């Protein structure tokens, strides 16, 4: 048992070392990097699409797209004329810092202001693996239910902002967004919460403005 714990600690330590190297490279090149995490289908790609449309006149944006397999999301983002690098984890349920290190080598970092990393759809393991990012943001859609903060607290603890998506569906669901907000802030009192609807565009302006302010601190 103690051997197993030692191995897990080593994996995290090795990941953190490379994450620090990534962070140094990104800072040197003045690239603000945002790790977007959340369940499958919670709206990660939709949030990146909407925010990119809002900010791409002001900032040069690129995306590292993490998926178990395929390139469907990368194709969606390519349509917005942003540079996209696809990572296929081949089964792994999260991105790690060495995957990001190799993706960074194929981007022209000097020309990028804002780099989104779309993590693999999962509310658990991505929270445990630092990538070298400046900001961690999670998407949660209303359809996932009120109990998610209590059931998956680590993700809520590790993120700076929660984008509560699919607000347009509120009238059709027996889910109270106020309960999600309250429970999430109980776990992480500093968590910024943005209720949005990616399909309608509601709340995207507020989120983009907040992100732009964060980037200006780089």
The burial of 213, by beta-carbon neighbours within 10 Å (0-12 exposed, 13-18 middle, 19 or more buried), is given as exposed
Q: Which of residues 87-146 bind ligand GTP (CB under 6 A)?
A: 121
C-alpha 143/C-alpha 140 separation (Å) is 8
Pick the piece of the chain touching Mg ion (CB under 5 A) from 6-14, 24-32, 44-52, 148-156.
44-52
Integer angstrom CA distances of residue 43 from 24, 165, 193: 29, 7, 15
C-alpha 65/C-alpha 59 separation (Å) is 19
User: Residue 188, interface with ligand GTP (CB under 6 A)?
Assistant: no
Closer to ligand GTP by CB, 88 or 199: give it: 199
Closer to Mg ion by CB, 18 or 94: give it: 94
User: Residue 42, interface with ligand GTP (CB under 6 A)?
Assistant: yes
Closer to ligand GTP by CB, 26 or 198: give it: 198
Is the distance from CB of 119 to CB of 95 less than 8 angstroms? Answer: yes
Tell me how far, at minimum, the Cβ of 73 lies from ligand GTP, in Å.
5
C-alpha 59/C-alpha 166 separation (Å) is 26
Judged by beta carbon distances under 5 to 8 A according to partner kind, the member of ligand GTP, Mg ion, none in contact with residue 54 is none
Closer to Mg ion by CB, 109 or 125: give it: 125
How, if at all, do strands 135-141 and 32-38 pair? parallel
Query: Which residue from 54, 97, 197, 208 is in contact with ligand GTP, where contact means CB under 6 A?
Result: 197
Phi/psi at 110 (5° precision): -60, -25
Integer angstrom CA distances of residue 155 from 70, 98, 218: 25, 21, 24
Size of site (CB under 6 A) for ligand GTP:
17
Pick the piece of the chain touching ligand GTP (CB under 6 A) from 19-27, 52-60, 145-153, 191-199.
191-199
User: Residue 41, interface with ligand GTP (CB under 6 A)?
Assistant: yes
C-alpha 91/C-alpha 6 separation (Å) is 24
Query: Which residue from 169, 170, 175, 193 is in contact with ligand GTP, where contact means CB under 6 A?
Result: 169
What residue number has its CB nearest to ligand GTP?
A: 121
User: Residue 86, interface with ligand GTP (CB under 6 A)?
Assistant: no
Integer angstrom CA distances of residue 180 from 24, 41, 118, 123, 174: 35, 18, 23, 15, 12
Contacts to ligand GTP by CB under 6 A: 38, 40-46, 73, 121, 165-166, 168-169, 197-199
């Amino acid at each position: 048992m103690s051997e197993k714990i030692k191995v897990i600690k080593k994996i995290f330590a090795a990941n953190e070392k490379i994450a620090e190297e990534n962070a140094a490279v990104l800072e040197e090149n003045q690239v603000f990097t945002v790790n977007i995490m959340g369940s499958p289908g919670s709206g990660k790609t939709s949030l990146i699409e909407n925010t990119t449309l809002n900010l791409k006149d002001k900032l040069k944006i690129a995306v590292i797209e993490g998926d178990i397999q395929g390139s469907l999301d990368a194709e969606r983002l390519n349509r917005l004329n942003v540079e996209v690098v696809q990572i296929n984890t081949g089964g792994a349920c999260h991105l790690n810092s060495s995957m990001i290190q190799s993706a960074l080598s194929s981007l022209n970092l000097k020309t990028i202001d804002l780099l989104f990393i779309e993590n693999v759809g999962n509310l658990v393991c991505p929270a445990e693996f630092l990538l070298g990012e400046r900001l961690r943001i999670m998407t949660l859609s209303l359809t996932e239910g009120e109990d998610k903060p209590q059931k998956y607290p680590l993700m809520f603890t590790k993120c700076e902002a929660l984008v509560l998506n699919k607000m347009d569906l509120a009238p059709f669901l027996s889910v109270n967004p106020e309960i999600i907000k309250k429970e999430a802030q109980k776990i992480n009192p500093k968590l910024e919460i943005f209720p949005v609807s990616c399909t309608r565009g509601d709340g995207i302006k507020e989120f983009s403005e907040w992100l732009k302010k964060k980037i200006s601190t780089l």
